[in-house]
């Protein structure tokens, strides 16, 4: 492959690889030295578009529950089923999508998930009854199982540690703006259309993943770390050489630095074979860590438990606030239109928290950022529980919602990055998929299914108190047992 570089104003010459034969540790060393290039920025734009699909999905759930609950006279149990139907599909799709991304690559799994989700989301808007809607929401969720974990995996594998967290924050700030769209659109539609047409029209957002599918498949680069881990060194070098050209760096095959993470994980990454140069994570006993069982090996057990628990608590607050916020506000006397618009304001506040947290993590470390946001978020949710129980003035409830959104819900993206950084490349897809599975089982299915019944039994104060307790416990666990990954190169 011929490459060129500029030397002066007009003169060009071929860039020839320096050094000996191509090896895996050379490619990882060259990748680790790269700044953020045009290729990385292109990937981040495409991954942000994929994340927006997640925003659309969650926004659709809230508007669907509020409108169809009254339109179809749904019981609390049926409302709970509607709230979790898509998440059940996501849950079932997560584990195989993580394993498939480790086997077949990040890009193809993400593209397939977008296509699948878009088709069944459009069909869901044509549902004639609750049973049909539940089935189509479930099928759409299977595709979302690929959309949830892969973007964070690719981000961690493409972006250098120095600005990884802040770049994710910028992406999630844009993502938060996307969360505004379903609530704002539903707020407008509910004033213009009949209730039945309002929720159906919102499902036209299913066109978005179909539009994103093509550029993801064509222009999203495959993870060079995954290519290296699979022994596809020539393919990995082509991606890395393109990034080196963008950064004005030579193709130095003699470059050697320590492969993988510093500390114990630098030892965990060892060549699996000289012929292919494949890198494989190994457990303490030396067995390849290529199965889900490796997540609970002595090397990764504590990391998995802490990261899974923290993300579960984050998703619990996320779903309670975004899925049930319109219904909770409506119960306090706000009209349906007002509830949608207030939820949109809450989402905007969440976006500010998501945008700012990454810069704090880059400056002070991800444990500091998670600890600070988690503790302040706990205070906000606790204030919300008190304000609702004491029938406080609207401004107090509003302040509590704002603090909860800014810190308690805004913490979720960094929890995802924290999860992605706990594992080497050969195990990362499975680790993130398993973490998403556990978090969405407890925070997005079991908890959310019982929210309507809990509200009928004890009202909102106990619900918010439980959310605050879960966030506090997992935040303290991160501060005590969490692994600081700021500045560490991943293997």
Q: Report which of 47, 152, 54 is spatially closest to residue 435, judged by C-alpha positions.
A: 152
Mean pLDDT by 10 residues, the chain (491 residues): 39 50 87 90 90 74 78 85 85 86 91 93 91 94 85 85 82 73 70 81 82 92 92 94 94 72 38 36 43 85 94 88 72 74 79 85 91 95 86 82 87 88 86 88 77 76 89 96 77 60
**What gap in Å lies between CA 339 and CA 66, rounded to an integer?**
10
**What gap in Å lies between CA 23 and CA 96, rounded to an integer?**
30
- Number of H helices and E strands in the chain, helices first, is 20, 4
Q: What confidence score (pLDDT) does residue 14 get?
A: 42
Domain segments of the chain: what residues? 38-224+294-481
> What's the whole-model pTM score?
0.73
CATH fold group of domain 38-224+294-481? Growth Hormone; Chain: A; (1.20.1250)
Chain centroid to CA 34: 24
Q: Report which of 353, 438, 400 is spatially closest to residue 172, judged by C-alpha positions.
A: 353
For residues 343 and 329, the answer to whether their CB atoms sit within 8 Å is: yes
Q: DSSP assignment, residue 339? A: H
Q: What confidence score (pLDDT) does residue 427 get?
A: 87
């Amino acid at each position: 492959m011929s490459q060129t570089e500029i030397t002066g104003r007009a003169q060009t010459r071929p860039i020839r690889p320096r050094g000996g034969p191509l090896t895996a540790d050379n490619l990882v060393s060259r990748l680790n030295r790269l700044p953020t290039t045009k290729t990385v920025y292109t990937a981040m734009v495409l991954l942000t578009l994929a994340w927006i699909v997640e925003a659309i999905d969650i926004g659709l759930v809230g508007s669907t529950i509020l409108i169809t609950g009254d339109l179809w006279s749904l019981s609390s149990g049926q409302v709970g089923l509607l709230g979790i139907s898509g998440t059940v599909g996501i849950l079932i799709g997560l584990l195989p999508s993580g394993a498939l991304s480790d086997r077949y690559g990040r890009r193809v799994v993400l593209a397939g998930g977008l296509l699948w989700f878009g088709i069944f989301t459009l069909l869901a808007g044509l549902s004639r009854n609750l049973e049909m809607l539940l089935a189509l929401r479930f099928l759409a969720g299977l595709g979302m199982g690929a959309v949830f974990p892969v973007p964070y995996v690719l981000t961690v594998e493409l972006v250098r540690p120095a600005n990884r967290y802040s770049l994710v924050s910028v992406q999630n700030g844009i993502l938060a703006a996307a969360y505004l769209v379903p609530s704002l659109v539903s707020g407008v539609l509910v004033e213009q259309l009949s209730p039945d047409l309002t929720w159906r029209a919102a499902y036209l957002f299913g066109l978005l993943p179909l539009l994103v599918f093509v550029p993801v498949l064509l222009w999203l680069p495959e993870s060079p770390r995954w290519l290296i881990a699979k022994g596809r060194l020539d393919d990995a070098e082509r991606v890395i050489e393109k990034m080196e050209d963008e950064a004005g760096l030579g193709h130095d095959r003699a470059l050697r630095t320590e492969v993988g993470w510093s500390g114990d994980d630098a030892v965990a990454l060892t060549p699996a074979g000289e012929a292919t140069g494949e890198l494989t994570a190994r457990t303490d006993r030396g067995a390849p860590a290529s199965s889900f069982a490796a997540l609970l090996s002595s090397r990764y057990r504590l990391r998995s438990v802490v990261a899974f628990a923290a993300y579960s608590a984050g998703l619990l607050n996320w779903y309670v606030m975004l899925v049930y916020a319109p219904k909770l506000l409506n119960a306090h006397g706000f009209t349906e239109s007002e509830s949608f618009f207030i939820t949109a304001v809450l989402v905007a506040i969440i976006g500010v928290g998501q945008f700012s947290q990454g810069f704090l993590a880059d400056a002070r470390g991800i444990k500091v950022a998670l600890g600070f946001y988690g503790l302040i978020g706990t205070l906000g949710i606790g204030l919300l529980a008190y304000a609702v129980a004491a029938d406080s003035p609207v401004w107090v409830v509003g302040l509590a919602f704002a603090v909860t959104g800014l810190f308690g819900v805004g913490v979720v993206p960094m929890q995802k990055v924290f999860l992605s950084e706990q594992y080497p490349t050969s195990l990362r897809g499975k680790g993130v998929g398993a973490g998403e599975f556990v978090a969405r089982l407890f925070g997005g299915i079991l908890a959310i299914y019982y929210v309507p019944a809990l509200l009928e039994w004890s009202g909102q104060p106990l619900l918010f108190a439980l959310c605050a307790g879960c966030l506090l416990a997992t935040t303290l666990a991160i501060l005590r047992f969490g692994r600081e990954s700021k500045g560490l190169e991943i293997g």
